[in-house]
Amino acid sequence: MTETLNAKRPAGLAAATCYPAARWRKIYVASSWRNPLQADVVKALHLDGHLVYDFKNPRPGDCGFSWSEIDPEWQKWTAKQYVAALDHPIAKRGFASDFNAMKWADTFLLVLPCGRSAHLELGWAAGAGKQTLILTRDGEEPELMAKMCDHICTSLDEARTILAG
């Protein structure tokens, strides 16, 4: 992400393809590690000429934060163990990486389905006055508070069109 934090568009970024942006954006894609759409969304937005933070690959050689880096048995933690793990240096480093990217971004795209962290990230973005979009699909549970977002899109093409403007 070091490259993407620069104020100007990096020279190595691929030329825009299907949805060339009138102005490039700094986009934080909030989603789940388990969401199979996340990588395609990140790739498409890069190809459209945007700078995109990818929490799965925030920097070259960095595969992002995972609780299993702290403890392979993290899913068996008690609430107290979870709270203590938030102070672990790996957790602090992962949080700093994502939160710095959140402050850097001017636009947030929540890609459903996703979990609590992604929703916390989008809620923070809405409160911070950032442009917010949700990418949903058939079968997702409706959420009333999605009304706080600027756009709710039902396809990646729709989100790319909005972001191209």
Residue 90 lies in a domain: no
The whole domain housing 138 covers 3-65+105-164
The tally of domains found in the chain comes to 1
pLDDT digit string, tens, across residues 14-52 = 444 566 666 789 999 999 999 999 999 999 999 999 999
Nearest to 162 by CA among 38, 50, 59: 50
pLDDT reported for residue 5: 41
pLDDT digit string, tens, across residues 85-142 = 999 999 999 999 999 999 999 999 999 999 999 999 999 999 999 999 999 999 999 9
Q: What predicted TM-score, i.e. pTM, was given to this entire model?
A: 0.86
Domain of 56, CATH number, reads: 3.40.50.450
| Cβ-count burial 54-90 (b if 16+ within 10 Å, e if not) | bbeebeeeeeebebeebeeeeeeeeeeeeeeeeeeee
